[in-house]
Structure 1
């Protein structure tokens, strides 16, 4: 018999037995060479502006592996041009990043937290459009004040209308502030805090 049986799961989660031919091409797959450099560049630009690689691959008809490779190549070229020398006092310093994305692969512009009082222009070099830098005098770790600022400046203005769920790790800065909880409630943001050190087990995006 030319073919084999494969188990497929539909939208409702019910298994369906389906006969699939040996030579099967998934619908929407772009064959090698059926895309232009212009389409590739448009896809790269879309990824740089926040679109997920998978979505850009489908929208512009570029093979996913090709798009990933070219995005990484372009990023490496830009990084080489934007290298800044660090003084001895800055070497070894770490930063924190507040990142947010959904299951579709869409992400909000990140916020980088640097230790210090005065922000330097080069801190924003290479960051995507809309990204921000927050300064913290004591440490580069996120705290309640910085997270509240992120929620107010970065998340709430970009959320869709109606209630949304925001899943957070169990860091104390995310769930111990009354002001934070009131701000979320007033803007239809439902906060769900995962237990500490369980994010990699629970995998909330899966």
Structure 2
């Protein structure tokens, strides 16, 4: 029996078909008349099962699948196209959160479920995303203008243009790697020395991830430190400054679960304690490590508008890249050198890391530096000054 017939009949159709069979109509004719599969009618007539629901029941209800469809459409409008792997991972997490029996192999839907989902929702279509060159110089002025106009159109359609006129409600977040042994650009040695080696205590490639978050009025939001652990050692939480986010992933890099924890348990409470007016806008790159269904639902409920930056343009449109990270990394080298100098060249332990980053941020995350980054980024906007972020308030 085709899948289309299995999903179209209702409980009322089934009831009327069974009543007609009891009154003498053949199973075949009842199936054709009421559009109910013959096998279902025979099983019901013969009492083979008592399930009152019609057809093979999907793992998710219609309303739950509709929520997922709305999520896909919503993210596409904000510049975060949902991939197949993101969809399947989100469905797996949703089933787990609903505490529902998981019939999928290894707990995650496969190609069969994905294709049936697409068949049930023809308003969603698969598209091959355009390959963007890795050369940042390929980002054109027209592409930047179109991005700004798309952002404006979305904010107007949602009647939230006032967000962009208040710097305290506009944020940019991004993560960066902090090397435990940052390379020095220059060193001082005896004149005439041809080759000099700097003895280091840490692996030159060892690094930890830090998520930074700043607002257009120049205020830094609490950052988040991510450690590379499968299980977090008990001592690590005591090494992270109060109010900061703490995450851990097997790779040490950001993933959707860690980012959700940051937004829900660090950023949002900080906004509340700051008496920030909602909704707010959070601009970030469109990497899949940031987005999940759970995060989208949380942000929609709490009034946090996620906006994806134009791909390959963070050196132009992301305030953290434009004005913040460079002085931060320069200061980080000095902080590490000071630590090693005071501790006779000792290795930087992970228990030392967070407080060293805090010292770094306190030295260089200045209000004027952050505001300058936003000013430089919105200078590329073709929109009227009223629409631009008010960074001077």
With normalisation by structure 1, the TM-score equals 0.49
Higher strand share: 1
Larger Rg over CA atoms: 2
Larger relative contact order (CA 8 Å, sep ≥ 6): 2
With normalisation by structure 2, the TM-score equals 0.27
